[in-house]
Amino acid sequence: MDLYRLADADAVLPRVRAGDPAAQEELYRAYEAPVYNLARRICRTAEDAEDVLQETFLEVFRSIGRFRGDGSLWGWVRTIASSKALMRLRRNKYRETDELQDDVLPLRREDTALRMDLEAALERLSPTSRAVVWLHDVEGYTHEEIAAMMQKTVSFSKSQLARAHTRLRRWLGEEVPA
């Protein structure tokens, strides 16, 4: 079942296909928040996320004729949004400095004392790791689907997720002494 629904989709979708601006706005308003949320969790800046929101709906309006209705509408929109957000990541080529520092430097003392909140810890992950965590744990994509969207291997997706959770556990102060 769709988490997000477009009320009266059967009536709205043909109008969107015909280019009716009012119907386009209905579709946009129904999915604006979840698309932006997904983009914001993956992209580094709010500006990037806003651009992804625009690009997603441009693509949705352009390709709505190809949506046959055999899957969920939100699932279709979400896949477009995920691809656009990942394309934005690739285009911006964010430097993975956080990750590098973590690999090279031992954890600073204040980090062990400080229990970061989950938002801050998520933000601190490298963009790639954050994208994998969000797509897998929250959006429910499989490693196979993530690998296809990221143009990487399944084992890349799995290892990114494992490394991300190891870090989150440490930053959230959840490590248990063996």
Q: Can you give the binding site for other proteins, defined by CB under 8 A?
A: 19, 21, 24-25, 28-29, 32-34, 36-37, 40-41, 46, 49-50, 53-54, 57-58, 61-62, 118-119, 122, 133-134, 137-138, 143, 158-159, 161-163, 165-166, 168-169, 172, 174, 176, 178
Task: Tell me whether residue 31 or residue 95 sits nearer to other proteins (CB atom).
Answer: 31
CB contact at 8 A, 39 and 56: yes
Residue among 61, 10, 11 at smallest CA distance from 31: 61
Q: How many CB atoms lie within 10 A of CB 24?
A: 18
Residue among 120, 130, 134 at smallest CA distance from 171: 120
Task: Tell me whether residue 19 or residue 95 sits nearer to other proteins (CB atom).
Answer: 19
Task: Tell me whether residue 45 or residue 101 sits nearer to other proteins (CB atom).
Answer: 45
Q: Least distance in Å: CB of 56 to other proteins?
A: 10
Length of the chain: 178
Query: How many CA atoms does the CB half-sphere of 148 hold within 13 Å?
Result: 5
Q: Least distance in Å: CB of 90 to other proteins?
A: 16
Task: Tell me whether residue 34 or residue 148 sits nearer to other proteins (CB atom).
Answer: 34
DSSP state of 18: T
Q: Least distance in Å: CB of 106 to other proteins?
A: 19
CA angle 134, 136, 137 (to 5 degrees): 70
Task: Tell me whether residue 136 or residue 149 sits nearer to other proteins (CB atom).
Answer: 136
Q: Least distance in Å: CB of 112 to other proteins?
A: 17
CB contact at 8 A, 154 and 61: no
